[in-house]
């Protein structure tokens, strides 16, 4: 079984969205009228759809492995403004040989878990996650409220000496410059000291 690419008004007639898995948000008004139609992959009619016991509420936290916990805390707490909830040295948490730090940027107990080795036992990675030619994480994303806030973050990070590995990215399914439709955003990308890439973005739609 394969997923067939087509334009929105493509293979089999009708809109592929009708055969796609349900989405909690309605399509934007005027969809399909934009001349820059994206390539869409949709679910085949004979694809076996699972019946889980309940829908997920969303992603609750991200767990990352870092080679240097001091450098990671300086980055996430000292530069990005996360708050430390708990830190456990290697071997303290049953069943987890690595150290574990819980950080938060919301009212949750933790939004980010950092797993770390005893000092000096893990070398720094050679490449950032975005550029590793292997399966695994590409990046995590942090959302801000507006384009102005994103620009302020970009200026702040540069002043803090944080390298912007991809700046002023525009993610749009319909137009390379973006036209304000649902699903579009502006973003910048940075990297923590262990090469884990982070997108900071704001919605355009």
Instruction: Clarify whether residues 135 and 199 are in a common domain.
Output: yes
Which pLDDT value is given to residue 178? Answer: 59
Which tokens go with 6?
Answer: 């087509």
With respect to residue 112, please indicate whether it lies within any of the assigned structural domains: yes
What pLDDT does residue 201 have? Answer: 94
Per-block mean pLDDT, blocks of 10 residues, the chain (205 long): 41 36 44 48 72 89 95 97 96 90 96 94 87 88 94 96 89 62 83 95 79
- For 153, the token pair is 């973050």
On whether both 196 and 136 belong to a single domain, the answer is yes
Domain encompassing residue 17: 1-48
pTM for this predicted structure: 0.75
CB 147 within 8 A of CB 200: no
Read out DSSP for 15-53?
-GGGGSPP-SSPPPTTTT-SSSPPEEE---TT------S
Does 53 map to a domain?
no
By residue count, the chain amounts to: 205
Strands (E), 93-203: 99-104, 112-116, 140-143, 166-171, 185-191, 197-203
What CATH number is associated with residue 164? Answer: 3.10.180.10
Per-residue model confidence (pLDDT) at position 129: 85
Query: What pLDDT score does 131 carry?
Result: 83
Same domain as 169, residue 134? yes
Task: Give the distance between the most distant pair of CA atoms in the chain.
Answer: 59
Task: Give the model's pLDDT for residue 96.
Answer: 87
Which two three-digit tokens encode residue 20?
A: 């796609």
User: Is the residue at 123 inside a domain?
Assistant: no
């Amino acid at each position: 079984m394969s997923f067939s690419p087509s334009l929105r008004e493509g293979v089999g007639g009708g809109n592929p969205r009708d055969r796609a898995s349900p989405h909690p948000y309605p399509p934007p008004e005027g969809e399909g009228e934009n001349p820059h139609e994206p390539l869409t992959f949709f679910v085949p009619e004979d694809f076996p759809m699972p019946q889980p016991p309940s829908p997920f509420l969303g992603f609750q936290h991200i767990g990352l492995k870092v080679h240097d916990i001091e450098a990671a805390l300086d980055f996430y707490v000292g530069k990005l403004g996360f708050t430390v909830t708990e830190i456990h040295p290697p071997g303290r948490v049953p069943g987890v040989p690595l150290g574990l730090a819980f950080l938060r940027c919301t009212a949750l107990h933790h939004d980010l878990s950092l797993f770390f080795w005893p000092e000096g036992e893990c070398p720094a990675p050679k490449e950032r996650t975005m550029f590793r030619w292997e399966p695994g994480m590409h990046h995590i994303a942090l959302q801000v409220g507006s384009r102005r806030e994103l620009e302020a973050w970009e200026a702040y990070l540069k002043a803090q000496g944080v390298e912007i590995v991809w700046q002023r990215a525009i993610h749009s399914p319909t137009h390379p410059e973006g036209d304000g439709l649902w699903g579009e955003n502006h973003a910048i990308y940075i990297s923590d000291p262990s090469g884990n890439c982070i997108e900071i973005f704001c919605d355009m739609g």
